[in-house]
Amino acid sequence: MLYGTGEDIMAQAKLVLMRHGQSLGNEANLFTGWYDLDLSPTGHEEARKAGRLMRERGLQFDAAHCSMLQRTIHTLHHCLDELDQVWLPEYHSWRLNERHYGALQGLNKEDTIALYGREQVQQWRRGFDVTPPDVALGSPHYPGHDPRYATLPKADIPRGESLATTTKRVLPYWQNTLLPSLQQGQSLLVITHGTVMRALIGHLNGLDPDDARTLEIPTGTPLVYEVNSVGIMRRLGYLNPPS
């Protein structure tokens, strides 16, 4: 991806990337992944606030994209309500789902540290190509049992992912769906998850894996890029920069 930093592009479209509002899993300090928990009360308000902020900045979109998980869907709906753009075409994709945390899904992070040790858990969380233990095929956390993924080939159904394998899953959606729309001048709102944000920001900003894996992504905070017809990007930054 080409990336511009000054007056080297004439932007034709806006891309807003945003992590969902705080979820019940975030609130409880869980490895959430594809575990389909809703927003916390704080997360609902974060999503509404983000929508109001985008409206105040005059952002208008042509389409909206999010994952298959309710914390992004509800975040998106709050944003569209506040933007008065509930009529936008809305697309959901498993490729925008959070990283699948394998056998760790649903576990409390501190309890997992007590069981496996802080260093091992940190490697599973932030090692670029370190994958946690696979989820068992009989587990309720195995996506193959979920009807929303019934049409996915078995080879595409994850049992555990690293940042590297999540990036490999996400980038085809960027290349084949999001980027072509942006190059046609369509402004997009994309609500997704922390690890997916790391993957996309790493790609768009040309970061090396070590820099991408250590990015801290705030919940409910819109990140804005400008895009021109040949796909050159300019990062404008967070609308409400985290402290």
pLDDT tens per residue, range 132-146: 999 999 999 999 999
Q: Which residues contact 18 (CB under 8 A, 6 or more apart)?
A: 50, 75, 79, 189, 190, 191, 192, 220, 221, 222, 223
Was 90 annotated as part of a binding site?
no
pTM: 0.93
Please give the Cα distance from 178 to 157 (Å, whole number).
22
> Terminal CA-to-CA distance of the chain, rounded, Å?
29
Average pLDDT value over all residues in the chain: 93
User: Taking residues 149-158, what's their average pLDDT?
Assistant: 96
- How distant, in Å, are the alpha carbons of 23, 163, 206, 215 from that of 1? 31, 19, 7, 19
**pLDDT given at position 243:** 57
Was 229 annotated as part of a binding site?
no
Predicted confidence (pLDDT) per residue in 86-124, tens digit:
999 999 999 999 999 999 999 999 999 999 999 999 999
Was 116 annotated as part of a binding site?
no
pLDDT band at 240 (very low <50, low <70, confident <90, very high): confident
Was 186 annotated as part of a binding site?
no
Predicted confidence (pLDDT) per residue in 15-47, tens digit:
999 999 999 999 999 999 999 999 999 999 999
Asked if residue 9 has pLDDT above 50, the reply is no
User: Taking residues 182-187, what's their average pLDDT?
Assistant: 96
Cβ neighbours of 44 (radius 10 Å): 17
- Tokens (6 digits) for 157: 């159904």
Was 48 annotated as part of a binding site?
no
Predicted confidence (pLDDT) per residue in 49-67, tens digit:
999 999 999 999 999 999 9
Predicted confidence (pLDDT) per residue in 201-214, tens digit:
999 999 998 899 88
Domains of the chain: 3-237 (3.40.50.1240)
- For the chain, percent of residues with pLDDT exceeding 70: 94
**pLDDT given at position 242:** 61
Was 23 annotated as part of a binding site?
yes
Asked if residue 241 has pLDDT above 90, the reply is no
| Residue in 5, 10, 14 with CA at minimum distance from that of residue 239 | 14
Catalytic residue numbers read 20, 98
